[in-house]
Amino acid sequence: MGISIADAAYVAGLFDGEGSVYFKKTRQKKHQRPGKPIHNVMVIRMEMAMTDKDVVKWCHELFGCGHFGERKVKEGYKRQWRWRVAHRDALYVAKIIWPYAQVKLHKIEQIIDYYDPEYSDQNVVSLEDYRNEKR
């Protein structure tokens, strides 16, 4: 059983309002020992955090990927729950919610472009081509 259009659109709306999409090339050390080289790495991550545990858990179970857990918050604040996907899992989620995203659309397209060689020449996913391919 796949993810329905209504569910995909709902999750896209949640990501637009409560989520974040991180797509950045950064420099990181692979090891903490002195003298180890610093490497250029891609950090690709999508996450959603909110105080409603049931909604966040439902998203995690619906897509069947990523990590679900409690997010640390400052003392005096309500508990928050987070669902986080990275790299190929982020691609999977991005391709499903992409047709319905508005606010985070550009970052979602960057994830799809990075992993999907079919669209690598265009630098931005063609909405029309993608929708025709899905039909």
What CATH number has the domain bearing residue 103?
3.10.28.10
Q: Grade residue 126 by pLDDT with cuts at 50, 70 and 90.
A: low
Res 100: pLDDT: 94
pLDDT tens-digit readout, 10-60: 999 999 999 999 998 887 766 666 766 777 788 899 999 999 999 999 999
SS3 88: helix
Beta bridge partners of 29: 38
Q: Grade residue 130 by pLDDT with cuts at 50, 70 and 90.
A: low
CA 80 to CA 88: how far, in whole Å? 25
Nearest to 12 by CA among 94, 131, 88, 92: 94
Residue-number span of the structural domain to which 110 is assigned: 5-134
Q: What are phi and psi of 77, to 5 degrees?
A: -100, 155
Query: Which residue blocks in the chain are alpha helix, DSSP H?
Result: 5-18, 53-63, 88-97, 105-115, 127-134
Contacts of 123 (CB under 8 A, 6+ apart): 113
Q: Which of 3-7, 45-49, 58-62, 123-127 has the lowest mean pLDDT?
A: 123-127
Question: Does residue 124 have a pLDDT over 60?
Answer: no
User: What is the total count of domains within the chain?
Assistant: 1
SS3 2: coil
Res 87: pLDDT: 92
Q: Grade residue 123 by pLDDT with cuts at 50, 70 and 90.
A: very low
Q: Grade residue 131 by pLDDT with cuts at 50, 70 and 90.
A: low
pLDDT tens-digit readout, 62-117: 999 999 999 888 899 999 999 999 999 999 999 999 999 999 999 999 999 888 86
